[in-house]
Structure 1
Amino acid sequence: MQEHDAEPLFPTSSPLFEVRQPRRQTEPFVFNSPHSGRVYSESFMESSRLDRDAIRRSEDLFVDELFSVAPVLGAPLLQANFPRAWLDVNREPYELDPRMFDGPLPPFANIGSLRVAGGLGTIPRLVAENMDIYRARLPVAEALSRIDTAYLPYHACLRKLLAQTHVQFGRAVLVDCHSMPASVRSSSNGPKPDFIVGDRYGSSAAHDISHAAVCILAELGYQVARNKPYAGGFITEHYGRPARGFHALQIEINRGLYIDESSLVKNSGFTALRINLAEFCDRLMAYVRDDLAGRRLAAE
Protein backbone atom coordinates (compact mmCIF):
# COMPACT_ATOMS: atom_id res chain seq x y z
CA MET A 1 0.00 0.00 0.00
CA GLN A 2 1.29 3.41 -0.97
CA GLU A 3 1.69 6.17 1.59
CA HIS A 4 0.23 9.61 0.96
CA ASP A 5 0.27 12.91 2.84
CA ALA A 6 -3.49 13.30 2.98
CA GLU A 7 -5.27 14.02 6.23
CA PRO A 8 -7.48 11.12 7.38
CA LEU A 9 -11.10 12.19 7.17
CA PHE A 10 -12.64 9.70 9.56
CA PRO A 11 -12.25 9.59 13.33
CA THR A 12 -10.44 6.51 14.56
CA SER A 13 -13.48 5.61 16.67
CA SER A 14 -15.55 5.03 13.55
CA PRO A 15 -14.63 2.03 11.40
CA LEU A 16 -14.76 2.68 7.69
CA PHE A 17 -16.86 -0.43 7.20
CA GLU A 18 -18.01 -3.44 9.17
CA VAL A 19 -19.28 -6.96 8.72
CA ARG A 20 -22.32 -8.11 10.64
CA GLN A 21 -21.66 -11.80 11.01
CA PRO A 22 -24.18 -14.50 11.89
CA ARG A 23 -23.36 -16.72 14.84
CA ARG A 24 -22.81 -19.43 12.24
CA GLN A 25 -23.11 -18.97 8.50
CA THR A 26 -25.76 -21.39 7.32
CA GLU A 27 -26.60 -19.89 3.93
CA PRO A 28 -24.53 -19.47 0.72
CA PHE A 29 -25.29 -15.74 0.67
CA VAL A 30 -23.39 -12.51 1.26
CA PHE A 31 -25.30 -9.23 1.55
CA ASN A 32 -23.62 -5.93 0.77
CA SER A 33 -24.74 -2.35 1.45
CA PRO A 34 -22.06 -0.10 -0.10
CA HIS A 35 -24.00 3.18 -0.24
CA SER A 36 -25.83 3.45 3.10
CA GLY A 37 -22.89 4.94 5.04
CA ARG A 38 -23.75 8.09 6.95
CA VAL A 39 -20.59 9.06 8.87
CA TYR A 40 -19.72 12.54 7.62
CA SER A 41 -16.54 13.91 9.15
CA GLU A 42 -16.14 17.58 9.90
CA SER A 43 -13.15 17.91 7.58
CA PHE A 44 -15.10 16.39 4.69
CA MET A 45 -18.01 18.73 5.31
CA GLU A 46 -15.66 21.71 5.47
CA SER A 47 -14.38 20.84 2.00
CA SER A 48 -17.93 20.66 0.63
CA ARG A 49 -20.17 23.44 -0.60
CA LEU A 50 -23.24 21.41 0.46
CA ASP A 51 -24.97 21.25 3.82
CA ARG A 52 -25.63 17.97 5.61
CA ASP A 53 -29.12 17.56 4.17
CA ALA A 54 -28.11 18.23 0.58
CA ILE A 55 -25.08 15.95 0.61
CA ARG A 56 -27.15 13.05 1.90
CA ARG A 57 -29.13 12.95 -1.36
CA SER A 58 -26.68 10.39 -2.70
CA GLU A 59 -27.15 7.94 0.18
CA ASP A 60 -29.01 4.67 -0.11
CA LEU A 61 -30.81 5.73 3.01
CA PHE A 62 -31.21 3.09 5.75
CA VAL A 63 -30.69 0.19 3.34
CA ASP A 64 -28.34 -1.42 5.87
CA GLU A 65 -31.20 -1.39 8.38
CA LEU A 66 -33.67 -2.79 5.87
CA PHE A 67 -31.41 -5.81 5.31
CA SER A 68 -30.22 -6.15 8.91
CA VAL A 69 -32.10 -9.45 9.11
CA ALA A 70 -29.47 -11.17 6.94
CA PRO A 71 -27.16 -12.21 9.83
CA VAL A 72 -30.18 -13.48 11.78
CA LEU A 73 -30.99 -15.70 8.82
CA GLY A 74 -27.42 -17.01 8.60
CA ALA A 75 -25.61 -14.77 6.11
CA PRO A 76 -23.05 -11.97 6.61
CA LEU A 77 -23.86 -8.35 5.82
CA LEU A 78 -21.03 -6.02 4.76
CA GLN A 79 -21.83 -2.33 5.12
CA ALA A 80 -19.91 0.86 4.47
CA ASN A 81 -19.96 3.52 7.17
CA PHE A 82 -18.32 6.15 4.95
CA PRO A 83 -20.74 8.00 2.67
CA ARG A 84 -20.99 7.44 -1.04
CA ALA A 85 -20.32 11.15 -1.58
CA TRP A 86 -16.84 10.63 -0.08
CA LEU A 87 -15.98 7.39 -1.90
CA ASP A 88 -18.02 5.09 -4.15
CA VAL A 89 -16.94 1.46 -3.96
CA ASN A 90 -19.44 0.53 -6.69
CA ARG A 91 -16.99 1.86 -9.26
CA GLU A 92 -13.66 0.72 -10.65
CA PRO A 93 -10.90 1.60 -8.17
CA TYR A 94 -9.56 4.51 -10.22
CA GLU A 95 -12.47 6.04 -12.14
CA LEU A 96 -11.34 9.61 -11.53
CA ASP A 97 -12.30 12.95 -13.05
CA PRO A 98 -9.19 15.08 -13.78
CA ARG A 99 -11.30 18.24 -13.46
CA MET A 100 -11.59 17.57 -9.73
CA PHE A 101 -7.90 17.49 -8.85
CA ASP A 102 -5.04 19.97 -8.66
CA GLY A 103 -2.40 17.76 -10.26
CA PRO A 104 -1.97 14.99 -12.83
CA LEU A 105 -3.66 11.68 -12.13
CA PRO A 106 -1.68 8.44 -12.40
CA PRO A 107 -1.60 7.00 -15.93
CA PHE A 108 -3.67 3.97 -14.93
CA ALA A 109 -6.67 6.11 -13.90
CA ASN A 110 -9.78 5.62 -16.01
CA ILE A 111 -10.68 9.23 -16.84
CA GLY A 112 -12.93 8.49 -19.81
CA SER A 113 -15.75 6.36 -18.44
CA LEU A 114 -19.37 7.43 -18.75
CA ARG A 115 -19.62 7.47 -14.96
CA VAL A 116 -16.73 9.91 -14.71
CA ALA A 117 -18.31 12.08 -17.40
CA GLY A 118 -21.51 12.13 -15.36
CA GLY A 119 -19.71 13.23 -12.21
CA LEU A 120 -20.14 9.87 -10.52
CA GLY A 121 -16.67 8.35 -10.43
CA THR A 122 -14.87 6.64 -7.56
CA ILE A 123 -14.48 10.06 -5.95
CA PRO A 124 -17.81 11.61 -6.96
CA ARG A 125 -17.99 15.19 -8.18
CA LEU A 126 -21.77 15.40 -7.83
CA VAL A 127 -24.56 14.16 -5.64
CA ALA A 128 -28.11 13.60 -6.86
CA GLU A 129 -29.78 16.48 -8.67
CA ASN A 130 -26.40 17.50 -10.15
CA MET A 131 -25.13 19.35 -7.10
CA ASP A 132 -21.37 19.90 -6.97
CA ILE A 133 -19.82 18.51 -3.80
CA TYR A 134 -16.55 20.44 -3.44
CA ARG A 135 -15.63 24.07 -2.98
CA ALA A 136 -12.23 23.63 -4.68
CA ARG A 137 -10.08 21.05 -6.39
CA LEU A 138 -8.74 18.20 -4.27
CA PRO A 139 -5.12 17.09 -3.97
CA VAL A 140 -4.49 13.98 -6.05
CA ALA A 141 -2.95 12.45 -2.93
CA GLU A 142 -6.31 12.74 -1.20
CA ALA A 143 -8.03 10.62 -3.84
CA LEU A 144 -5.30 7.96 -3.74
CA SER A 145 -5.42 7.91 0.05
CA ARG A 146 -9.16 7.27 0.10
CA ILE A 147 -8.73 4.44 -2.38
CA ASP A 148 -5.84 2.90 -0.40
CA THR A 149 -7.42 3.20 3.01
CA ALA A 150 -11.08 2.47 2.23
CA TYR A 151 -11.78 1.19 -1.30
CA LEU A 152 -9.13 -1.51 -1.52
CA PRO A 153 -9.72 -2.91 2.01
CA TYR A 154 -13.50 -2.89 1.41
CA HIS A 155 -13.19 -5.00 -1.72
CA ALA A 156 -10.62 -7.27 -0.08
CA CYS A 157 -13.17 -7.93 2.65
CA LEU A 158 -15.96 -8.59 0.15
CA ARG A 159 -13.78 -10.97 -1.87
CA LYS A 160 -12.88 -12.87 1.30
CA LEU A 161 -16.52 -13.22 2.35
CA LEU A 162 -17.48 -14.54 -1.08
CA ALA A 163 -14.51 -16.92 -1.26
CA GLN A 164 -15.22 -18.34 2.19
CA THR A 165 -18.88 -18.79 1.30
CA HIS A 166 -18.01 -20.54 -1.95
CA VAL A 167 -15.58 -22.89 -0.20
CA GLN A 168 -18.17 -23.79 2.42
CA PHE A 169 -21.20 -24.24 0.16
CA GLY A 170 -19.87 -24.67 -3.37
CA ARG A 171 -21.80 -21.57 -4.39
CA ALA A 172 -21.93 -17.93 -3.33
CA VAL A 173 -24.82 -15.54 -3.97
CA LEU A 174 -24.06 -11.85 -3.52
CA VAL A 175 -27.05 -9.55 -2.94
CA ASP A 176 -25.94 -5.96 -3.54
CA CYS A 177 -28.45 -3.72 -1.78
CA HIS A 178 -29.38 -0.24 -3.02
CA SER A 179 -32.20 2.30 -3.19
CA MET A 180 -33.49 4.54 -5.97
CA PRO A 181 -35.54 7.74 -6.22
CA ALA A 182 -39.30 7.27 -6.21
CA SER A 183 -39.49 9.01 -9.61
CA VAL A 184 -37.61 6.24 -11.45
CA ARG A 185 -39.50 4.40 -14.21
CA SER A 186 -38.45 1.20 -15.94
CA SER A 187 -39.47 2.73 -19.28
CA SER A 188 -40.67 6.12 -20.50
CA ASN A 189 -44.32 5.13 -20.27
CA GLY A 190 -44.03 2.31 -17.78
CA PRO A 191 -45.02 2.18 -14.13
CA LYS A 192 -42.72 3.25 -11.32
CA PRO A 193 -41.28 -0.01 -9.98
CA ASP A 194 -41.03 -0.75 -6.28
CA PHE A 195 -37.97 -2.91 -6.94
CA ILE A 196 -35.52 -3.45 -9.76
CA VAL A 197 -33.57 -6.70 -9.80
CA GLY A 198 -30.36 -6.37 -11.80
CA ASP A 199 -28.24 -9.25 -13.06
CA ARG A 200 -26.35 -7.52 -15.88
CA TYR A 201 -28.84 -8.93 -18.38
CA GLY A 202 -28.19 -12.48 -17.26
CA SER A 203 -24.40 -12.34 -17.11
CA SER A 204 -23.91 -11.97 -13.34
CA ALA A 205 -26.28 -14.62 -12.00
CA ALA A 206 -28.04 -17.77 -13.10
CA HIS A 207 -31.44 -17.11 -14.63
CA ASP A 208 -33.26 -19.25 -12.07
CA ILE A 209 -31.91 -17.21 -9.14
CA SER A 210 -32.78 -13.88 -10.76
CA HIS A 211 -36.20 -15.17 -11.74
CA ALA A 212 -36.84 -16.42 -8.21
CA ALA A 213 -35.95 -13.01 -6.76
CA VAL A 214 -38.36 -11.25 -9.13
CA CYS A 215 -41.16 -13.73 -8.47
CA ILE A 216 -40.82 -13.61 -4.68
CA LEU A 217 -41.01 -9.81 -4.64
CA ALA A 218 -44.00 -9.86 -7.00
CA GLU A 219 -45.75 -12.42 -4.79
CA LEU A 220 -45.22 -10.05 -1.87
CA GLY A 221 -47.29 -7.50 -3.78
CA TYR A 222 -44.61 -5.30 -5.32
CA GLN A 223 -44.18 -3.93 -8.82
CA VAL A 224 -40.88 -5.43 -9.99
CA ALA A 225 -38.71 -4.64 -13.01
CA ARG A 226 -35.60 -6.43 -14.20
CA ASN A 227 -32.42 -4.67 -15.36
CA LYS A 228 -34.14 -1.47 -16.50
CA PRO A 229 -32.96 1.14 -15.85
CA TYR A 230 -30.48 -0.40 -13.40
CA ALA A 231 -28.82 -3.62 -14.52
CA GLY A 232 -26.13 -3.58 -11.82
CA GLY A 233 -22.96 -1.61 -11.26
CA PHE A 234 -19.30 -2.48 -10.89
CA ILE A 235 -19.85 -4.81 -7.92
CA THR A 236 -22.50 -6.89 -9.66
CA GLU A 237 -20.48 -7.07 -12.88
CA HIS A 238 -17.15 -7.72 -11.17
CA TYR A 239 -18.20 -10.44 -8.74
CA GLY A 240 -20.89 -12.23 -10.72
CA ARG A 241 -19.34 -15.32 -12.33
CA PRO A 242 -22.21 -17.81 -12.53
CA ALA A 243 -20.22 -20.40 -14.50
CA ARG A 244 -17.88 -20.58 -11.49
CA GLY A 245 -20.66 -20.62 -8.90
CA PHE A 246 -20.52 -16.92 -8.00
CA HIS A 247 -23.86 -15.19 -8.53
CA ALA A 248 -24.49 -11.46 -8.02
CA LEU A 249 -27.82 -9.64 -7.92
CA GLN A 250 -28.40 -5.93 -7.47
CA ILE A 251 -31.59 -5.00 -5.63
CA GLU A 252 -32.87 -1.43 -6.01
CA ILE A 253 -35.64 -0.32 -3.64
CA ASN A 254 -37.97 2.59 -4.37
CA ARG A 255 -37.28 5.09 -1.56
CA GLY A 256 -40.87 6.26 -1.62
CA LEU A 257 -41.80 2.97 0.03
CA TYR A 258 -40.05 3.82 3.25
CA ILE A 259 -38.81 7.44 3.52
CA ASP A 260 -39.99 10.97 2.94
CA GLU A 261 -37.61 12.08 0.19
CA SER A 262 -37.88 15.73 1.20
CA SER A 263 -37.01 15.33 4.88
CA LEU A 264 -34.98 12.08 4.50
CA VAL A 265 -36.76 10.52 7.47
CA LYS A 266 -38.47 7.14 7.64
CA ASN A 267 -42.16 7.09 6.85
CA SER A 268 -44.88 4.76 8.06
CA GLY A 269 -43.99 2.15 5.44
CA PHE A 270 -40.51 1.43 6.81
CA THR A 271 -41.48 -1.32 9.26
CA ALA A 272 -43.71 -3.17 6.80
CA LEU A 273 -41.02 -3.05 4.12
CA ARG A 274 -38.42 -4.35 6.55
CA ILE A 275 -40.69 -7.27 7.46
CA ASN A 276 -41.33 -8.05 3.79
CA LEU A 277 -37.63 -7.93 2.99
CA ALA A 278 -37.00 -10.43 5.78
CA GLU A 279 -39.51 -12.75 4.09
CA PHE A 280 -37.91 -12.08 0.71
CA CYS A 281 -34.44 -13.00 2.02
CA ASP A 282 -35.76 -16.10 3.80
CA ARG A 283 -37.58 -17.35 0.71
CA LEU A 284 -34.70 -16.64 -1.67
CA MET A 285 -32.32 -18.46 0.67
CA ALA A 286 -34.73 -21.41 0.84
CA TYR A 287 -34.91 -21.51 -2.97
CA VAL A 288 -31.13 -21.68 -3.32
CA ARG A 289 -30.88 -24.15 -0.43
CA ASP A 290 -33.44 -26.46 -2.04
CA ASP A 291 -31.72 -26.13 -5.40
CA LEU A 292 -28.39 -27.11 -3.89
CA ALA A 293 -29.97 -30.07 -2.11
CA GLY A 294 -31.65 -31.17 -5.34
CA ARG A 295 -28.36 -31.05 -7.22
CA ARG A 296 -26.65 -33.14 -4.55
CA LEU A 297 -29.43 -35.73 -4.68
CA ALA A 298 -29.26 -35.80 -8.47
CA ALA A 299 -25.52 -36.31 -8.31
CA GLU A 300 -25.92 -39.19 -5.88
Structure 2
Amino acid sequence: MTADDAPVGDVSADDRLDVWIDGDSPLLIDVPHAGTYMPPALRAQMTPIAQNVPDADWHVHLLYGFAGEVGASLMAATHARYVVDLNRDPQGAALYPGADNSERVPLLSFDREPLYAGAAPDAAEVERRMARYWTPYHRRLRQRLDAIRARHGHAILLDAHSIRSAVPRFFDGRLPDLNLGTADGASCPAGLGDAAFAVLQRSDFGAVRDGRFKGGYITRHYGRPQDGVHALQLEIAQACYMDEQPPWPWDARRAQPLQQVLRRLVDVLLRWTP
Protein backbone atom coordinates (compact mmCIF):
# COMPACT_ATOMS: atom_id res chain seq x y z
CA MET A 1 0.00 0.00 0.00
CA THR A 2 1.24 3.49 -0.80
CA ALA A 3 0.16 6.83 0.58
CA ASP A 4 -1.65 7.48 -2.72
CA ASP A 5 -3.99 4.65 -1.75
CA ALA A 6 -4.75 6.14 1.66
CA PRO A 7 -8.35 7.45 1.68
CA VAL A 8 -7.83 10.06 4.37
CA GLY A 9 -11.01 11.87 3.38
CA ASP A 10 -13.34 8.90 3.15
CA VAL A 11 -13.54 6.10 5.71
CA SER A 12 -15.91 3.17 5.95
CA ALA A 13 -16.36 3.36 9.70
CA ASP A 14 -16.16 6.10 12.28
CA ASP A 15 -13.61 4.15 14.31
CA ARG A 16 -10.93 4.10 11.62
CA LEU A 17 -8.81 6.91 12.98
CA ASP A 18 -5.72 6.65 10.82
CA VAL A 19 -4.11 5.13 7.77
CA TRP A 20 -0.84 3.36 8.61
CA ILE A 21 2.11 2.44 6.41
CA ASP A 22 4.59 0.33 8.36
CA GLY A 23 8.24 1.01 7.63
CA ASP A 24 11.45 -0.65 8.75
CA SER A 25 13.43 2.44 9.78
CA PRO A 26 13.55 4.70 12.87
CA LEU A 27 11.49 7.40 11.07
CA LEU A 28 7.76 7.89 11.57
CA ILE A 29 6.01 10.63 9.55
CA ASP A 30 2.82 11.75 11.29
CA VAL A 31 0.13 13.69 9.40
CA PRO A 32 -2.52 14.69 11.95
CA HIS A 33 -4.47 17.29 9.94
CA ALA A 34 -4.87 15.90 6.41
CA GLY A 35 -8.13 14.07 7.19
CA THR A 36 -11.44 15.45 5.94
CA TYR A 37 -13.90 12.87 7.30
CA MET A 38 -16.64 13.96 9.71
CA PRO A 39 -19.22 11.55 11.17
CA PRO A 40 -22.58 12.22 9.45
CA ALA A 41 -24.36 13.35 12.63
CA LEU A 42 -21.62 15.86 13.37
CA ARG A 43 -21.40 17.01 9.77
CA ALA A 44 -25.11 17.80 9.80
CA GLN A 45 -24.48 20.34 12.59
CA MET A 46 -21.82 22.20 10.62
CA THR A 47 -22.16 25.20 8.33
CA PRO A 48 -21.69 24.72 4.57
CA ILE A 49 -18.28 26.35 4.90
CA ALA A 50 -17.23 23.88 7.58
CA GLN A 51 -18.50 20.92 5.55
CA ASN A 52 -15.95 21.82 2.87
CA VAL A 53 -13.14 21.56 5.46
CA PRO A 54 -11.17 24.60 4.25
CA ASP A 55 -8.58 24.35 7.03
CA ALA A 56 -7.42 20.79 6.34
CA ASP A 57 -3.73 20.23 5.69
CA TRP A 58 -4.74 19.29 2.17
CA HIS A 59 -2.83 16.47 0.43
CA VAL A 60 0.09 16.38 2.86
CA HIS A 61 -0.06 12.58 2.89
CA LEU A 62 0.47 12.70 -0.88
CA LEU A 63 3.56 14.88 -0.50
CA TYR A 64 5.09 12.06 1.52
CA GLY A 65 3.71 9.34 -0.73
CA PHE A 66 7.23 7.99 -1.18
CA ALA A 67 7.51 7.09 2.52
CA GLY A 68 6.96 3.37 2.06
CA GLU A 69 9.54 3.21 -0.72
CA VAL A 70 12.32 4.48 1.55
CA GLY A 71 11.35 2.53 4.67
CA ALA A 72 9.68 5.33 6.65
CA SER A 73 6.46 4.67 8.53
CA LEU A 74 3.55 7.00 7.82
CA MET A 75 0.54 7.66 10.05
CA ALA A 76 -2.18 9.87 8.55
CA ALA A 77 -5.29 10.84 10.49
CA THR A 78 -8.59 10.24 8.71
CA HIS A 79 -10.84 12.63 10.67
CA ALA A 80 -11.00 16.37 10.09
CA ARG A 81 -9.47 18.71 12.64
CA TYR A 82 -13.00 20.10 13.13
CA VAL A 83 -13.93 16.83 14.86
CA VAL A 84 -11.02 17.27 17.26
CA ASP A 85 -7.59 18.80 16.83
CA LEU A 86 -5.01 16.08 17.39
CA ASN A 87 -2.19 18.63 17.68
CA ARG A 88 -3.56 20.49 20.70
CA ASP A 89 -2.80 20.05 24.38
CA PRO A 90 -5.30 17.65 25.99
CA GLN A 91 -6.01 20.17 28.74
CA GLY A 92 -6.48 23.02 26.30
CA ALA A 93 -3.30 24.93 27.16
CA ALA A 94 -2.39 27.48 24.50
CA LEU A 95 0.52 26.54 22.23
CA TYR A 96 1.45 30.17 21.70
CA PRO A 97 0.44 32.28 24.74
CA GLY A 98 -0.53 35.80 23.76
CA ALA A 99 -1.30 34.84 20.17
CA ASP A 100 -4.55 33.64 18.59
CA ASN A 101 -4.86 29.88 19.22
CA SER A 102 -7.47 27.49 17.87
CA GLU A 103 -9.21 25.18 20.32
CA ARG A 104 -9.17 21.42 20.88
CA VAL A 105 -12.54 21.40 19.12
CA PRO A 106 -12.46 24.43 16.82
CA LEU A 107 -15.45 26.76 16.81
CA LEU A 108 -14.27 29.12 14.05
CA SER A 109 -12.52 28.60 10.75
CA PHE A 110 -9.11 30.14 10.15
CA ASP A 111 -11.02 33.01 8.54
CA ARG A 112 -13.07 33.39 11.76
CA GLU A 113 -16.25 32.03 10.20
CA PRO A 114 -18.58 30.03 12.51
CA LEU A 115 -18.28 26.28 12.00
CA TYR A 116 -21.61 25.34 13.62
CA ALA A 117 -25.01 26.21 12.22
CA GLY A 118 -26.58 26.03 15.69
CA ALA A 119 -25.21 25.67 19.19
CA ALA A 120 -21.49 25.06 19.49
CA PRO A 121 -20.24 21.96 21.34
CA ASP A 122 -20.41 22.32 25.10
CA ALA A 123 -17.70 21.23 27.53
CA ALA A 124 -19.13 17.73 27.87
CA GLU A 125 -19.13 17.24 24.09
CA VAL A 126 -15.55 18.43 23.85
CA GLU A 127 -14.48 15.87 26.44
CA ARG A 128 -16.48 13.16 24.68
CA ARG A 129 -14.63 13.83 21.45
CA MET A 130 -11.31 13.90 23.23
CA ALA A 131 -12.01 10.47 24.66
CA ARG A 132 -13.47 9.11 21.42
CA TYR A 133 -10.90 10.41 18.92
CA TRP A 134 -7.93 12.23 20.48
CA THR A 135 -6.96 9.70 23.13
CA PRO A 136 -7.01 6.57 20.89
CA TYR A 137 -4.99 8.32 18.19
CA HIS A 138 -2.32 9.39 20.64
CA ARG A 139 -2.27 6.00 22.31
CA ARG A 140 -1.55 4.46 18.92
CA LEU A 141 1.11 7.05 18.09
CA ARG A 142 2.85 6.41 21.41
CA GLN A 143 2.76 2.65 20.92
CA ARG A 144 4.25 2.95 17.45
CA LEU A 145 7.02 5.27 18.58
CA ASP A 146 7.83 2.95 21.48
CA ALA A 147 7.99 -0.03 19.12
CA ILE A 148 10.30 1.83 16.73
CA ARG A 149 12.58 2.90 19.58
CA ALA A 150 12.70 -0.65 20.94
CA ARG A 151 13.64 -1.98 17.50
CA HIS A 152 16.21 0.65 16.49
CA GLY A 153 17.38 2.21 19.74
CA HIS A 154 15.85 5.56 18.85
CA ALA A 155 12.87 7.00 16.98
CA ILE A 156 12.53 10.13 14.83
CA LEU A 157 9.12 11.75 14.48
CA LEU A 158 8.50 14.14 11.59
CA ASP A 159 5.18 15.89 12.22
CA ALA A 160 3.97 16.96 8.79
CA HIS A 161 1.68 19.96 8.24
CA SER A 162 0.62 22.59 5.74
CA ILE A 163 -1.42 25.78 5.83
CA ARG A 164 -2.54 28.47 3.43
CA SER A 165 0.29 30.86 2.73
CA ALA A 166 -1.75 33.83 4.02
CA VAL A 167 -3.87 33.50 7.17
CA PRO A 168 -4.07 36.92 8.88
CA ARG A 169 -5.60 35.35 11.98
CA PHE A 170 -2.32 33.63 12.79
CA PHE A 171 0.48 35.56 11.06
CA ASP A 172 1.13 38.72 9.08
CA GLY A 173 1.86 38.70 5.37
CA ARG A 174 2.89 35.54 3.53
CA LEU A 175 4.24 32.57 5.42
CA PRO A 176 7.69 31.32 4.38
CA ASP A 177 7.54 28.22 2.21
CA LEU A 178 9.10 25.76 4.65
CA ASN A 179 8.82 26.25 8.40
CA LEU A 180 10.86 23.86 10.52
CA GLY A 181 9.95 23.62 14.19
CA THR A 182 12.06 22.05 16.93
CA ALA A 183 10.47 23.72 19.97
CA ASP A 184 13.42 26.10 20.04
CA GLY A 185 15.80 23.15 20.03
CA ALA A 186 14.12 21.20 22.84
CA SER A 187 12.48 18.44 20.77
CA CYS A 188 15.60 17.09 19.02
CA PRO A 189 19.40 17.35 19.27
CA ALA A 190 20.98 20.40 17.65
CA GLY A 191 22.79 18.21 15.13
CA LEU A 192 19.56 16.72 13.84
CA GLY A 193 17.82 20.06 13.62
CA ASP A 194 20.84 21.58 11.86
CA ALA A 195 21.02 18.74 9.32
CA ALA A 196 17.31 18.99 8.55
CA PHE A 197 17.37 22.75 8.20
CA ALA A 198 20.43 22.63 5.94
CA VAL A 199 18.40 20.59 3.42
CA LEU A 200 15.63 23.19 3.43
CA GLN A 201 18.08 26.09 3.11
CA ARG A 202 19.77 24.51 0.08
CA SER A 203 16.44 24.27 -1.76
CA ASP A 204 14.78 26.84 -4.02
CA PHE A 205 12.13 27.40 -1.33
CA GLY A 206 12.29 29.97 1.42
CA ALA A 207 12.90 28.38 4.84
CA VAL A 208 12.85 29.43 8.48
CA ARG A 209 13.51 27.56 11.70
CA ASP A 210 11.52 28.00 14.91
CA GLY A 211 9.75 31.04 13.57
CA ARG A 212 5.97 31.46 13.73
CA PHE A 213 5.55 27.67 13.96
CA LYS A 214 7.89 26.13 16.52
CA GLY A 215 6.07 22.81 16.73
CA GLY A 216 2.65 21.95 18.10
CA TYR A 217 1.65 19.63 20.90
CA ILE A 218 2.84 16.51 19.09
CA THR A 219 6.37 17.81 18.51
CA ARG A 220 6.69 19.26 22.00
CA HIS A 221 5.17 16.30 23.82
CA TYR A 222 6.84 13.40 22.02
CA GLY A 223 10.17 15.07 21.32
CA ARG A 224 12.22 13.79 24.25
CA PRO A 225 15.84 13.42 23.11
CA GLN A 226 16.84 12.21 26.56
CA ASP A 227 14.42 9.29 26.09
CA GLY A 228 15.50 8.46 22.56
CA VAL A 229 12.59 10.10 20.69
CA HIS A 230 13.52 13.04 18.47
CA ALA A 231 10.77 15.18 16.95
CA LEU A 232 10.57 17.89 14.30
CA GLN A 233 7.62 19.67 12.71
CA LEU A 234 7.51 20.88 9.13
CA GLU A 235 4.80 23.38 8.22
CA ILE A 236 4.56 23.99 4.47
CA ALA A 237 2.86 26.91 2.72
CA GLN A 238 0.21 25.28 0.53
CA ALA A 239 0.96 27.57 -2.41
CA CYS A 240 4.11 25.47 -2.90
CA TYR A 241 2.17 22.46 -4.15
CA MET A 242 -1.55 23.12 -4.69
CA ASP A 243 -4.25 25.63 -5.54
CA GLU A 244 -5.22 27.42 -2.33
CA GLN A 245 -8.75 28.10 -3.57
CA PRO A 246 -11.72 25.66 -3.36
CA PRO A 247 -11.84 22.81 -4.14
CA TRP A 248 -8.13 22.85 -3.20
CA PRO A 249 -6.90 20.51 -5.94
CA TRP A 250 -3.62 18.63 -5.78
CA ASP A 251 -1.19 19.90 -8.42
CA ALA A 252 1.29 17.10 -9.19
CA ARG A 253 3.43 19.29 -11.45
CA ARG A 254 3.75 22.03 -8.87
CA ALA A 255 4.34 19.51 -6.08
CA GLN A 256 7.22 17.70 -7.82
CA PRO A 257 10.03 20.14 -6.86
CA LEU A 258 8.79 20.19 -3.28
CA GLN A 259 8.65 16.41 -3.12
CA GLN A 260 12.26 16.28 -4.24
CA VAL A 261 13.21 18.47 -1.28
CA LEU A 262 11.14 16.33 1.07
CA ARG A 263 12.88 13.20 -0.22
CA ARG A 264 16.24 14.77 0.57
CA LEU A 265 14.98 15.77 4.01
CA VAL A 266 13.71 12.28 4.74
CA ASP A 267 16.97 10.79 3.51
CA VAL A 268 18.90 12.94 6.00
CA LEU A 269 16.56 11.90 8.81
CA LEU A 270 16.96 8.23 7.88
CA ARG A 271 20.76 8.45 7.87
CA TRP A 272 21.03 10.34 11.16
CA THR A 273 22.02 8.45 14.29
CA PRO A 274 22.30 9.73 17.87
With the length of structure 2 as denominator, give the TM-score of the two structures: 0.85
Partner of 2:103: helix, strand, or coil?
Answer: coil
1:11, 1:81 → 2: CA distance?
11
* 1:265 matched to 2:263: no
Query: Whole-Å Cα distance in 1 between the matches of residues 203 and 157 of structure 2?
Result: 21
CA drift of 1:14 comes to 6.5
Which residue pairs with 1:280 in the alignment? 265
Percent identical: 27
Pairing of 1:1-300 with structure 2 (within 5 A): 12=13, 15-22=16-23, 25=24, 27-51=25-49, 55-95=52-92, 118=100, 120-134=102-116, 135-183=118-166, 192-263=175-246, 264-267=248-251, 268-286=253-271, 288=272, 291-292=273-274
Aligned partners of 1:115 and 1:121 also within 8 Å? no
- 2-side partners of 1:276 and 1:113: how far apart? 28
Paired residue total: 260
Q: Is the CA contact (8 Å cut-off) linking 2:181 and 2:215 kept in structure 1?
A: yes
Give how far 1:78 is off. Answer: 1.0
| Structure 2, unaligned runs of 5 or more | 1-10
CA deviations on 1:32-56 (whole Å, 9 max, x unpaired) are 0000001133322211123356x42
**What stretches of structure 1 move > 6 A for 4+ residues in a row?**
112-117
Give the whole-Å Cα distance in 2 for the aligned partners of 1:41 and 1:116: 33
TM-fit CA distance, 1:218: 2.1
Q: Which runs of 5+ in 1 are unaligned?
A: 1-9, 96-109, 293-300
Q: Deviations over 1:228-265 (max 9, x none)?
A: 11001111110111122211100011100111111211
Where 2:133 maps in the other structure, the secondary structure is helix
Please list the CA deviations of residues 134-168 of structure 1 after superposition, one character each: whole Å capped at 9, or x if unmatched.
12132544322221121111101111111111111
In structure 2, relative to structure 1, the CA distance for the partners of 1:66 and 1:113 (3 Å cut) is closer
| CA RMSD across the alignment | 2.7
Rg larger for: 1
Quote the Cα distance in structure 1 between the aligned partners of 2:229 and 2:176.
Answer: 27
Q: Contact (CA 8 Å) 2:89, 2:95: kept in 1 or not?
A: no
Q: Is the Cα contact below 8 Å between 1:92 and 1:122 reproduced in 2?
A: yes
Contact 2:111 2:167 in 1 (8 A): no
CA–CA distance in structure 1, aligned partners of residues 79 and 193 of structure 2: 29
Q: Distance in 1 between matches of 2:57 and 2:241?
A: 12
Match of 1:298 in 2: none
Give the match's secondary structure for 1:225. Answer: strand
For residues 107 and 172 of structure 2, the distance between their equivalents in structure 1, rounded to whole angstroms, comes to 27
CA distance in 2, matches of 1:36, 1:84: 8
